[in-house]
Structure 1
Amino acid sequence: MSYIVRSVSVAAAALCVLGTVAVAETRITYKSAKAGSSYYQMAVEISEAMKAGSDGEISVTVEESQGSVQNVMEVRARGGDYVFTTPPALIGLAQGGRAMFEGRESPAFDDIRALFPIPSLTMHFVMSADSGVETFEDMAGKTILLGSGSFGAREGAKYIEMFGLADSVQVADSELSNAVSALKNGQIDGFVTAGSYPAPNVIEAAASTGVSVLSLSDAQVEESGRTRLVIPAGTYAGQTEDIVTTSLPVVAYTTTKMDDDTAYQLTRTYWETKAQMAGMSRWWDGVSTEMLSTITSEIHPGARRYYEEIGAPLNDAHM
């Protein structure tokens, strides 16, 4: 009788172990951006790609965010399952207790580690074909829509001032959501937008109205203090040449609380499914391992292991 009991107990224990293996998965919380934004859509695409690429072993829950600063601040209270996106510059500010992080310092910021780059915020200066504008100098006397409150609006205003156009460009008082229709109706000559390329509103404007997306000179790029980025010819309808513009890199981060194997698995799955994601949204075509150079702080050891395996370019700041 005791033999039977022992056998049943062993069998039950084995079933428990098998059940545990069957449901084992890595659960990740991915803090992104506002719902409805392109970066929130990217987060959803990453979530779906992680599940498919790992055969269900990685489960990513996407959380809406009010912005990159909030994403960084939450590091203080999050665990090893937390992944968030932010420009690399904010990591340096947080770790140095500068700017918006002054008086809000935390040792947790020193534990932030990079995983992989995602599409950059890319500046687009979009002018209607009818405006005849081909250079920044040609914008004098034109009406430009910047929108308000966004990175693109602030950056656009900065460039207009920087390139000596503040007194000659009329800024339209309207939201960016109205840009394409205002361009079609001739109410504005152009608009400024920042987003991963190809940007949906620029695609729409180029296809329906005909536009010219301005290129910056190397001197203008240097003066801006931003990262140089090239939008390849053919990205937008009627675009026959490469467009040189500026960008704000964006990277997915975690902390040292995440174990090395999980960071490795996330990073490998991301790069191995990037081509599939590009089949859904073309902005993934703009991401390459060359963009690791935009990461200015340490990369998580698990992610670094993957990059070393594939021979990706790393530098001293990543170690």
Structure 2
Amino acid sequence: MNKKHTLYKILVGLLFTYSLFAVCIHGVFVAKAENSKKDENKWPAHLRIVTGPKGGQWFQMGKPLADALSKDVLPSSSRSGGGLSNINDINNNTADMGFTLACFLGAAQSEEPAYQHIAMKNVTMMSNIYPQVFYVLVREDFAATHNIDSMEALLAQKIPLRFASLKPGTASEFMLNMLLQHGYNTSFEALKEQGWQISFSDYAEIADRFVDGDIDCFAYTAGTDVPLIRTLEEHTQPRILPLSPEVLATLSKKFKTRTYTIQPGTYKNVTKPILTLGDTTCLIIRKNIPDSLAFAMTKAVWENRKAITEVIKDFGSISPETAMTEGLPIHPGAKEFWETLKK
């Protein structure tokens, strides 16, 4: 009788413990669901994506990115932009998501006074996407005439050299400025005094002028596999200039940039490895976006990567292993998604 009574007490105790555990677990899920619902009430009605100059890779990825977010998260639209202007728009709440380069974030965290104006209070990362490469293209006929086989040889030219890059506020113009000032101790003003004719425009116009022989040099940043360079090669011969290893090391230390090697065969005119400035294209979002929305946006980008990669091949480099950079801020919702994938 005592044994039966003891067994009965044990069973009652187990049932009570199980019931208490179930109630607690249910309470956790209910609380989480309620918090998520409250969080979703803070979602905007529409997502605004800022990309890059017309004709560039960022601009081309805008539509498939907006389509992915519209399908899986919220109605979304994209518009042109630039690496620096995108940061400002997101910081000022006039955009929700956009492309930029990691070097902008590194520069903002540096002690260089020239970059303290980069407003990062409301800006955080969603993900690294793919390696970004800085290209200095010189027409082959011009390079051969003036014995230009490196960036140093180009900068030494004291002639009416016609040089072009993308407009101020773009990633290309920012990286070029950084390279000239902190890498080669020169500037646009100093080069103009050497006789250079410097202009800024968009990809399409500069490419047309390069092919027509109206400019001698085109410097800009893009991915590792650039359709624009292949198009130029169909009409003219662009020579890609290497940069100094010492200069690249200096920039890496100051701004967390990288060194990138363009391998032979990547483009028709590349017959030996070319050392140049490297960085990372990344997606940034507003810091004040709810965690649940940031998680959903990151998830949509990841799950629709195939469609975006069909437009720009470089997008296929996105990966949970490389999505986050130590030392650069990332949104908690995006971080949660990437860490979930890595488990």
- TM-score, reference length from structure 1: 0.66
Count of residue correspondences:
277
Residue in structure 2 matching 1:190, options 196, 217, 220:
217
Measured in 2, the distance between the counterparts of 1:63 and 1:194 equals 19
Structure 1 residue 276 corresponds to structure 2 residue 317: no
Q: Who is 2:249 aligned against?
A: 222
Aligned CA-pair RMSD: 4.2
The CA deviation at 1:192 is 1.3
Unmatched runs of 5 consecutive residues or more in structure 2: 1-42
Q: Who is 2:136 aligned against?
A: 125
1:175-214 equivalent positions in 2, closer than 5 A: 175-176=200-201, 178-214=205-241
1:127·1:191 contact (CA, 8 Å) conserved in 2?
A: yes
The CA deviation at 1:47 is 1.1
1:243-262 equivalent positions in 2, closer than 5 A: 243-255=274-286, 257-262=288-293
Letter in 2 for 1:267: T
Measured in 1, the distance between the counterparts of 2:136 and 2:234 equals 16
1:72·1:86 contact (CA, 8 Å) conserved in 2?
A: no
Structure 1 residues 289 and 178: alpha-carbon distance in aligned structure 2, compared to 1, 3 A threshold: same
- C-alpha deviations, 1:131-153, integer Å up to 9, x for none? 23332244243735124643534
Structure 1 residue 172 corresponds to structure 2 residue 197: yes
The CA deviation at 1:203 is 2.6
Q: Who is 1:152 aligned against?
A: 172
The CA deviation at 1:51 is 4.2
SS in 2 for 1:208: coil
Q: Which of 1 and 2 has greater Rg?
A: 2
1:28·1:83 contact (CA, 8 Å) conserved in 2?
A: no
Measured in 2, the distance between the counterparts of 1:95 and 1:62 equals 30
Letter in 1 for 2:151: F
**Worse-superposed segment, 301-310 or 133-142:** 133-142
Residue in structure 2 matching 1:43, options 62, 70, 83:
62
The CA deviation at 1:222 is 1.5
Structure 1 residues 293 and 243: alpha-carbon distance in aligned structure 2, compared to 1, 3 A threshold: farther
1:59-138 equivalent positions in 2, closer than 5 A: 59-63=75-79, 65=81, 67-75=85-93, 82-88=96-102, 93=108, 110=121, 112-119=123-130, 122-130=133-141, 131-132=143-144, 133-138=148-153
- C-alpha deviations, 1:233-285, integer Å up to 9, x for none? 54433434554322454432334543433322221221232233222222324
1:233·1:241 contact (CA, 8 Å) conserved in 2?
A: yes
The CA deviation at 1:61 is 2.6
**Worse-superposed segment, 117-126 or 167-176:** 167-176
SS in 1 for 2:300: helix
1:88·1:295 contact (CA, 8 Å) conserved in 2?
A: no
Q: Who is 2:27 aligned against?
A: none
Measured in 2, the distance between the counterparts of 1:229 and 1:42 equals 23
2:101·2:281 contact (CA, 8 Å) conserved in 1?
A: yes
Letter in 1 for 2:78: V
Measured in 2, the distance between the counterparts of 1:27 and 1:295 equals 32
Measured in 1, the distance between the counterparts of 2:77 and 2:288 equals 18
Which structure ranks higher in relative contact order (CA pairs < 8 Å, sequence separation ≥ 6)? 2
Unmatched runs of 5 consecutive residues or more in structure 1: 1-24, 313-319
Residue in structure 2 matching 1:30, options 48, 52, 58:
48
- TM-score, reference length from structure 2: 0.62
Percent identity reads 15
Letter in 1 for 2:197: A
